Structure 1
Amino acid sequence: MEYQNSTFFNINSLLNTDLSNFSHLNVQLENCQYLNNTVILQLKNCLAECLQLQTLILNLQFDGIQFQQMKLLTEGLPEYQNLNNLQLHLNENEILPETVSILGSFLKKCQQLTKLKIEITENCIGSEGLTELSNAIQTIKNIQHLELQAGNNYIEDDGILALSKALSHLSVQLTDLVIELQQNQITEEGAYQIGEALSICSHLKNLDLFLDTNKIGDRGASSLFTGISKCTQLTSLKLDLLDNEIKDEGACQFGEKIRCLQNITNIEIVLDNNGIRDNGISSIVIGLSNCKLITILSLRLRQNKIDQKGANEIGVAISTLSNLTNLVLYLCYNRLGYRGASNFASGLSKCSQLKELSLSLNSNKIKDQGANAIGVALSNCKNLKKLELWLNKNEISHIGASGLATGLSNCTQIEFLLLNLQKNNIGVEGTCAIGITLSKYNNITDLTLGLNQNKIEDMGIYGIVKGLSNCSSIKTLSLTLYGNNLTSQGYSQIDQCIYSMKNLILLQCGLSDGEKLLKSKEILDCNNIKVLNIIPTNYQSESEIMYHKIKALKIKRLVQLQLEID
């Protein structure tokens, strides 16, 4: 038997290959322009040859698949006695409930599956279609790893009931479960059903549950958390409940239940845009602080109502997690203020084992005091290799920027740095301090600097350039500097610096109207840049965008030009 990862990107390659002994087959016909009924039948005949298959990956995304095509493809296929891994990628087609019924009939022929992945996001399967799919899945008794992506499909609670029954049937053997049902019409009743099903999945090790942009509310969230708390063997949990009308009541239930998961090492929670206040946040992080094995923690709490008390509790909680190495914390668009930022920073300063940190405090009015406190905290995180720091729109001046830079100067092991300080009041002195810090980063290979709409001027650019000149290992550089009263001389300094960076391969630039960056002789003669990604500012005219493109295409050694346009 041929054991190989054989990938095919067109039907002709399949037709010209003897597939009878293949054990692993990967067919990638995504966004295929010629996928008519004839081609569907050819694909079916090829699949019918593969009686020895153990793994089948079939990608038919964006192909306009409807009832007739699914029927042509699946009806008459043999039972696959050896197939244990099936992955079907069917996102963004034209799949209705009756089409799912045909798919379900095919799944019932695959009774030896231990791993099943179905992506059917952005179709129109509704509750009826999810019921058909769930009824088929529950007949496959050996599934250990199940992944179902069915977001944006007009699914209501009655469809969730059928899915929950299927999960209950599979509960004994399930160890890995991924369910994506975002942007549907699930209420507290649907969340209750999911929670009930999860409560008997006692062998689950890894659970990813994405229910963002539904309407499960506090009661639904409480039911869900109660069910998850019974999965005491979990080592990894990813839970997305963005925009679900969850307030403090639901958040408090999460905090109470999460402490049951004593084996958890990786946890990612998304609760953006839910109106949670300090009491709810405090309960969540106090619960998390009881999970002492956590090494990776991601908390996304954007656009809630967190004040300085909640920020303090977050800091205290993370300071008790002695095994924490990776932290993602998004608190932008809350109400921390400089006191809240300082309170949080006090806890962060104790996380000396961190290797990766992503911290977003955009639009929190942390001011110079908060920025200084963050800098002091980071000075203790000397093992950081990757740092992403978003402090946009926070009323930070050169004082806060200098304090932040001083703290960062201790993080000399950094290889990846993203520093966004857009829309503040940072002037020459603060920018030069950042430049001095950059000069100490001998290991950095990937750098993003977002400094647009400050008060940098040419002298500040000189400080940045001086620092960058010592970063000889940089391969990827992203710069956004517009709105800083730069003259041609300032832009020329940047271009000369880019020209001198011999290991630079990929350059990304945020450019405004009439931007003078990338226009000098040094850039046009640059031998190192192979990929250039230009990001025009919002509301630019087509003529301005074309101006940037024509300018960029004059770079002699450029291999690839990308324009990111919203």
Structure 2
Amino acid sequence: MGQKQIAHSEEFQKKVLQWKFYILYNQIYKMKYDLNQSYSNLKEVDGYQDVKEININIKKDYNFGLEGAIGIQQGLSYFKEIQMLSLVLGKNNKINDSVTKILGQTVGNCQSLINLNLVIEQNNIQNGIIELLNPIQNCLNLQSLKLLIGNQNQVKDQLLISLGLILRNLTYLNDFGLIVEEGNFITQSGLTYFSEGLKTCQQLFKFEIIFGKDELSTEGLLALKSGIGALQKLSHFAIETGPWNCIQSNGCLQISNTLFQLKQIQQIRICIDMGNQISDEGVKYLSIAILSQLQLIKLSITFGRFNKIGYQSFYLFFKSLIGCKNLLHLECYLFCTGNGILSQQRINLQIKLNHIKQLVSKNLRLIW
């Protein structure tokens, strides 16, 4: 920014952004607005064309539709050097394929984008989501991409097929996160396409993927293994299986086999959510894989309710963590039912945890 722009406060800069979008919306909806009551010097406002970060949050039930999308398209055209863009589409707006197509074109025109966050909560716009995502492949400088697909959008495997193609063009990407909530009906086939595209992202050092209910299977984890395993620069890895996906212990084996392929991991977050039918054998698989990560600094692990895990496997799991010599931070959430942990066993397990605490730090939490 020039000297003139530096003289203004950050708060004024935010007001300028709000003003520009407000003018556009009011022009579209034929509402009266007196420019002179806000800022008398339009040249002063135009001096903020080099704003680098813009966050747009379309709240639910906001009646946002085609006119609003055009307003955003026109509004963002003022800012030629956007590097960070966040777009949240709330539920129950008038969003259809035409709206998402315009929004997609708008995102694709932001050639300087480095960070992009998209949250699509809107229900039932299946193909429209693909229209929104496809132009991302034009953002060749993108380094961070975070995407949340809300529940009941029914995007099916086309979402993952499109993402696989998009990722092939994003050669500078180093941080990728994907959340797929329930009601999107993805399968192993879609995850296979996605995995193939993921292999091309050789600069990735951070990868996280979160599934909702009924969106993941053991076969899906197997499909992901080759793609994630190819990311040899990966230092941060996170996976959440979602509730009631019944990945069973064989699913833990696939996560374990994925970790065995990675040699630079420093941070791991694993959530085996409720109802996945994990047995003691699954905990053992994860324990061995985590122990193999010689550079591991931070571990966060969750075992949800309605799994088939007993005291002995937990005891051995925590005992094995003592072998992680570089571990500095450990978070563990245990939600045990059924053949779970009796009072005396809890005491014994807590003793083991206290020993680990002395080795790793005080950042250890155990929730029963």
**Number of the residue aligned with 2:102:** 102
Kindly provide the amino acid, as one letter, of the partner of residue 134 in structure 2. N
**Number of the residue aligned with 1:65:** 64
Quick one: distance in 2 between partners of 1:12 and 1:40?
A: 19
Secondary structure in structure 2 of the residue aligned to 1:245:
coil
Quick one: distance in 2 between partners of 1:70 and 1:38?
A: 16
State how 1:523-534 maps to structure 2 within 5 Å. none
Please tell me whether residue 368 in structure 1 is matched to residue 367 in structure 2.
no
After TM superposition, the score normalised by the length of structure 1 is 0.55
Q: 1:40 to 1:160 in 2, by over 3 A?
A: farther
Greater CA radius of gyration, 1 or 2?
A: 1
Greater shift in the superposed pair: 264-273 or 51-60: 51-60
Kindly provide the amino acid, as one letter, of the partner of residue 228 in structure 2. I
Please tell me whether residue 217 in structure 1 is matched to residue 217 in structure 2.
yes
Identity %: 23
Quick one: distance in 2 between partners of 1:312 and 1:373?
A: 6
Kindly provide the amino acid, as one letter, of the partner of residue 116 in structure 1. L
Residue by residue, what CA displacement relative to the aligned partner does 1:229-280 show, whole Å, maximum 9, x if unpaired? 1111111112111222312222212112202221111110111121121222
Residue by residue, what CA displacement relative to the aligned partner does 1:394-434 show, whole Å, maximum 9, x if unpaired? xxxxxxxxxxxxxxxxxxxxxxxxxxxxxxxxxxxxxxxxx
**Number of the residue aligned with 1:348:** none
- Following superposition, the deviation at residue 219 of structure 1 comes to 0.7
- Residue of 296, 299, 302 corresponding to 2:301: 299
Quick one: distance in 1 between partners of 2:248 and 2:88?
A: 35
Point out which structure has higher relative CO (alpha carbons under 8 A, 6+ apart): 2
Q: What 5-or-longer segments of structure 1 have no aligned partner?
A: 20-26, 29-33, 338-363, 392-566
Q: 1:241 to 1:101 in 2, by over 3 A?
A: same
Q: 1:226 to 1:132 in 2, by over 3 A?
A: same
Residue by residue, what CA displacement relative to the aligned partner does 1:114-143 show, whole Å, maximum 9, x if unpaired? 2212222x2025431221122110111111
- Following superposition, the deviation at residue 296 of structure 1 comes to 0.9
Contact 1:40/1:73, CA 8 A, preserved across alignment: no
**Number of the residue aligned with 1:321:** 324
- Following superposition, the deviation at residue 80 of structure 1 comes to 4.2
**Number of the residue aligned with 2:259:** 258
Residue by residue, what CA displacement relative to the aligned partner does 1:16-54 show, whole Å, maximum 9, x if unpaired? xxx8xxxxxxx89xxxxx9993579999xx9x9443222
Quick one: distance in 1 between partners of 2:33 and 2:165?
A: 34
- Following superposition, the deviation at residue 384 of structure 1 comes to 4.8
- Residue of 361, 369, 381 corresponding to 2:357: 381
After TM superposition, the score normalised by the length of structure 2 is 0.82
**Number of the residue aligned with 1:87:** 86
Quick one: distance in 2 between partners of 1:291 and 1:226?
A: 18
Residue by residue, what CA displacement relative to the aligned partner does 1:456-496 show, whole Å, maximum 9, x if unpaired? xxxxxxxxxxxxxxxxxxxxxxxxxxxxxxxxxxxxxxxxx
Q: 1:306 to 1:72 in 2, by over 3 A?
A: same
Quick one: distance in 2 between partners of 1:104 and 1:371?
A: 55
- Following superposition, the deviation at residue 217 of structure 1 comes to 0.8
Contact 2:331/2:364, CA 8 A, preserved across alignment: no
Q: 1:190 to 1:124 in 2, by over 3 A?
A: same
Quick one: distance in 2 between partners of 1:40 and 1:111?
A: 34
- Following superposition, the deviation at residue 10 of structure 1 comes to 9.4
More helix by share: 2
Quick one: distance in 1 between partners of 2:162 and 2:233?
A: 25
Q: 1:265 to 1:35 in 2, by over 3 A?
A: farther
Kindly provide the amino acid, as one letter, of the partner of residue 335 in structure 2. C
RMSD: 3.4
Quick one: distance in 2 between partners of 1:195 and 1:13?
A: 39
Please tell me whether residue 332 in structure 1 is matched to residue 332 in structure 2.
no
Q: 1:329 to 1:110 in 2, by over 3 A?
A: same
**Number of the residue aligned with 2:159:** 159
- Residue of 49, 54, 70 corresponding to 1:51: 49
Contact 1:96/1:124, CA 8 A, preserved across alignment: no
Quick one: distance in 2 between partners of 1:283 and 1:117?
A: 34
Kindly provide the amino acid, as one letter, of the partner of residue 299 in structure 1. I
Q: 1:327 to 1:279 in 2, by over 3 A?
A: same
Contact 1:80/1:109, CA 8 A, preserved across alignment: no
State how 1:197-216 maps to structure 2 within 5 Å. 197-216=197-216
Q: 1:131 to 1:12 in 2, by over 3 A?
A: closer
